[in-house]
Amino acid sequence: MLDVGIQDRLPLPKTGLFGLQHLLALTGIWIFPVLIGATLELSQEDVSHIVQACFLLTGLVTILQSSRIVRLPIVQGPTAAFFVAILAAAATYDLGTAFGSMVVAGLIFMVLSIPIGNLGLFGHIRRFAADPIVFGTLFVIIGAQLANIGLPGWFGTAGTDSYGWSSFWVGVVVVVVILGCMIFGGSTLFKRAAILVGIAVGSVVALLAGIWSPPSLGEASVIGVPTIFPFGFGVAWPVVILMLLAFFQAGAEAMGMYTLVSGWGGEKLSVNRINRGLFTEFLGSTVGAAFGGIGTTSYPENVGIIRITRIGSRFVTMAAGIFAFALAFLPQISMFIAGLSGVVLSAASTILFGIIAISGIQMLQKVRWDDLNIAVAATSFIVSLGTQWIPEDILAALPPQIAGLINTPMMLGVIMLITLNILVNFIIRPRLESRVAVAADAA
């Protein structure tokens, strides 16, 4: 499957070039922090703290995963699960509580995956956690939930001079460029970094159209360390539960990527090796949350790069981690990303969220669609999305933390999917099949 094996090295220039390609595929770093800032009306300085922490978190975990821990070509990056969880928590509480609760949830999951012998619990439950019906359906739910952040932003901000169709056409340009790179990019860097190319071209068009100007970088230092707890520190147990669910999804997705990549490279993937990788991922997300970083998972886009290039060297992904780690100490880069055009990012995120949803549909191809599995997926899908339209007076009568959970499709969806999947496929299905077998033998 691979032309360059997982434990093989490339010449340093090629290692750096392919490492940069992996870094450019981490679209969550470039989009999620700015969308959080736009949704919560944060200042550019606050958004830059999140960007800087995301680079730190991505770099730290990717270096550890590729070099000493799981020793696979795994690239970590901000995931939509944590993005949605942070938005939901901050809307009910504040960002300090969101990130503080993520730290607590991360510590809990570190204990669950402690890599000593066979003690790590998480590695033993991959059969339940990585079930495609659970996370395939969940990705579709997440994509649908995030749709309201994308297209409406193409028109800009109401009340500003640029609001309206002039901004909309800039968004159209962004989408056309991204689609062009995806369709005609072949196996080149343009295809893997299509969203980033769209953002770059859209930013130039927005500048020429007069609806955006580059942010001032004078107040940001050239070199600086990320700020610890830039939004304060708080813990709320309902938010801890939300973050536990996000960690669960991130861990399950990571296990799927470990299994896929190790199979391509002919690597043996033991339970202890899985737990080492998960422990490192949870450790990195916990440390990163203390600096305001969005929790990570193993990026499918980077696994796609490995599949296309057939270069599976873990030293290449380690180079990507080194690049990200270095960017964490360049505040002006983070400030520039924080000041990118909201219209451009909204257009780019529309494609990104669509990719998330379609990735879920691809996962669902592995499901055997009998009546039992349809009951699990269909019920979870329609109920979780339908809660967005529960009457406001009904939600207002509930405690805020419960209302926030019910009114967040991703969170309610993962609870319903896991619960129904265990109930239907691991309790009810064996009993029904046993009855059928007995009836067949009696006949």
CA separation for the pair 400, 398 (Å, rounded): 6
Q: What are phi and psi of 289, to 5 degrees?
A: -60, -30
Q: Does the structure show a pLDDT above 70 at 126?
A: no
pLDDT of amino acid 185: 83
**Residue at 422 is within a domain:** no
> Structural domain of residue 70, as residue ranges?
12-369
Q: Helix 132-150 to helix 371-386 angle, to the nearest 10 degrees? A: 30
pLDDT of amino acid 132: 83
Q: Does the structure show a pLDDT above 90 at 406?
A: no
pLDDT of amino acid 129: 56
- By CB atoms closer than 10 A (0-12, 13-18, 19+), residue 195 is buried
Instruction: Give residues with Cβ within 8 angstroms of 303, minimum separation 6.
Output: 257, 260, 261
**Residue at 6 is within a domain:** no
Q: Does the structure show a pLDDT above 70 at 355?
A: yes
- The pTM of the full predicted model, rounded to 2 decimals, is 0.82
- 279-299 burial by CB neighbour count: b if 16+ within 10 A, else e? bbbbbbbbbbbbbbbbbbbbb
Q: Look-up: residue for tokens 């968004």?
A: 171
Q: Average pLDDT of 385-407? A: 83
**Residue at 342 is within a domain:** yes
Give me the sign of the Cα torsion angle 37, 42, 44, 46. Answer: negative
* 207 band by pLDDT with thresholds 50, 70 and 90: very high
**Residue at 110 is within a domain:** yes
String of DSSP letters for 26-93: -HHHHHHHHHHHHHHT--HHHHHHHHHHHHHHHHHHHHHHHHTSS-S---EEE-HHHHHHHHHHHHHS
Q: Look-up: residue for tokens 């938010």?
A: 239
Q: Helix 237-265 to helix 132-150 angle, to the nearest 10 degrees? A: 120
CA separation for the pair 61, 285 (Å, rounded): 8
Q: Give the total number of structural domains in the chain.
A: 1
* 122 band by pLDDT with thresholds 50, 70 and 90: low
Residue 76 pairs in a beta bridge with 298
**Residue at 400 is within a domain:** no
**Residue at 7 is within a domain:** no
Q: Does the structure show a pLDDT above 90 at 52?
A: yes
**Residue at 246 is within a domain:** yes
**Residue at 81 is within a domain:** yes
Closest CA to 351 of 195, 205, 122: 195
Closest CA to 25 of 293, 299, 249: 299
Q: Average pLDDT of 411-418? A: 83
Per-chain mean pLDDT for the chain: 86
Secondary structure letter of residue 117 according to DSSP = T
Q: Does the structure show a pLDDT above 90 at 369?
A: yes
Residues 13, 16, 18, 22, Cα dihedral to 10° = -170
Portion of the chain with pLDDT greater than 90, in percent: 33
